[in-house]
A = this chain, B = another copy of it.
Amino acid sequence: MSGNTLGTVFAVTTFGESHGPAIGCVIDGCPPGLPLETADIQRELDRRRPGTSRHVTQRQEADQVEILSGWFEGRTTGTPIALLIRNTDQRSKDYGNIAQSFRPAHADYTYWHKYGVRDYRGGGRSSARLTAPLVAAGAVAKLWLRQQHGIEVRGYMAALGDIDIPFDDWAHVADNPFFAPNAALVPQLEAAMDALRRDGDSIGARINVVASGVPVGWGEPVFDRLDADLAHALMGINAVKGVEIGAGFDSIRQRGSEHGDELTPDGFASNRAGGVLGGISSGQDIVASLAIKPTSSIRTPRRSIDVDGKPSTVETFGRHDPCVGIRATPIAEAMVALVLIDHALRHRAQCGDVEVATPRIPSQA
């Protein structure tokens, strides 16, 4: 109800603020018996950790995760899995100058009005730091999806500002701090970020996520369609302003005879649907794309007001990512994985484990 839980069967409730003692989450509904080690979670957390290159915030959060429950002798037990990450590098003093003013494009203003009280130390609950518990929960989801269904959920940066990054190969993604799938573009991305940092400004990005191996039949028919729940989860990531599935906004200009993916005995002939038909997975790759706005906390002075409505000027000197999109890839993957595992379990709740009909069609040509 109050918006801190994602999912219905595999339900992840997060807690914490950027400058409180700790952040974390409780996963309720994880299937029992899943082999799981702390390292499986830590590996994903390390992918989105700050301070790993000069292009991201220089905060040094260890982001060490501790499994508090739901785990026994190397396996999940079916009871709630609580994951705890202590906050260690909180320089609250950096934020003193914005305690009384609202950063433009930031949640300061809306939180203050909603709750009548605001944790003004950093982003508080609205901080992108709160994506860490999501990545941790997503790591558990990914393990199950891979183990049970051979599903891989992978993302990459498809554009940084006006630099489009053509997909070359998944192999490149882990080799650069941008999660760019194209090694040739990396120098250009680095130069762009260096220039931006000198300007004290920020920029947006596009992230694509692909889930392969998803069986046909996951998703609900009217409201909680697989694509609707993906849109909900992805639009719920900090700074996301748009979500596309498959052909996305290009569909507007397409004719039905062009857009509709034909079926053949060897599988679908194309995938403009992005792997979802009528809200239910078709067996093809699930393809989602998201638009991330530029970071709101920038060094460039901006007009604002204070809590009394008086004009003020805001410059943010905290250690912020000049492009939140750079660390967004593992977060977007986690969100897709969380939606998929939840729909997998929802599907078997109503329709059972056993496939109700054997798909006779290879899902991907």
Instruction: Tell me whether B16 and A69 are in contact (CB under 8 A).
Output: yes
The answer to the question of A29 belonging to the interface, with a C-beta cut-off of 8 Å to chain B, is yes
Interface residues of A in 307-365 (CB under 8 A from B): 308-311, 345-357, 359-361
The interface on chain A, measured as residues whose beta carbon lies within 8 A of the other chain's beta carbons, has a size of 161
* C-alpha spacing A22/B86, complex, angstroms: 14
A31 touches B253 (CB 8 A): no
Asked whether any CB of chain B lies closer than 8 Å to the CB of A5, the reply is yes
In the bound complex, CA of A130 to CA of B286 (Å): 25
Complex contact A278–B111 (CB within 8 A): yes
> Which residue of chain B is the closest to A305 with respect to CB atoms?
B263
A13 to B80, Cβ gap below 8 A? yes
- In the bound complex, how far is the Cα of B119 from the Cα of A21, in angstroms? 29
B110 touches A278 (CB 8 A): yes
Can you give 30 A-B contacts (C-beta < 8 A)?
A1-B28, A2-B9, A2-B29, A2-B78, A3-B346, A4-B28, A4-B221, A4-B223, A5-B11, A13-B26, A13-B28, A22-B69, A32-B356, A33-B117, A78-B351, A105-B272, A106-B260, A107-B221, A109-B277, A109-B361, A110-B276, A112-B357, A113-B356, A161-B253, A196-B255, A224-B236, A236-B279, A242-B248, A252-B292, A264-B303
Smallest CB separation, A248 vs chain B (Å): 4
Interface 1/0 per residue, A64-85 and B, CB below 8 Å: 0010111110010111111010
A251–B292 CB distance below 8 A: yes
A291 to B252 alpha-carbon distance, docked (Å): 6
CA distance A355 to B102 in the complex (A): 19
CA A236 – CA B33 in complex, angstroms? 25
A247 contacts across to B, CB distance below 8 A: 241, 293
* A46 contacts B by Cβ under 8 Å: no
| CA A29 to CA B13, docked complex, whole Å | 12
State in angstroms the CA–CA spacing of A22 and B238 once bound together: 30
CA distance A217 to B15 in the complex (A): 20
Q: Is the C-beta of A50 less than 8 angstroms from some C-beta in chain B?
A: no
> Which B residues are CB-close (under 8 A) to A352?
31, 348, 353
Task: Please name the residue on chain B nearest to A239 by beta carbon.
Answer: B251
Max chain B Cβ within 10 angstroms of own Cβ: one of A33, A218, A228, A246: A228
- Return A109 CB to nearest CB of chain B, in Å: 6
Chain B positions within 8 Å of A115 at CB level: 32-33, 77-79, 351, 356
The answer to whether A171 has its CB under 8 Å from any CB of chain B is no
CB contact list, A268-284 vs B, under 8 A: 269, 272-274, 276-283
Q: Which A residues, 102 to 128, have Cβ-Cβ distances below 8 Å to chain B?
A: 102, 104-119, 124-126
> A26: which B residues are within 8 A, CB to CB?
4, 13, 15, 26
Q: Indicate whether A17 reaches chain B with its CB closer than 8 angstroms.
A: yes
CB distance from A206 to the nearest CB of B (A): 5
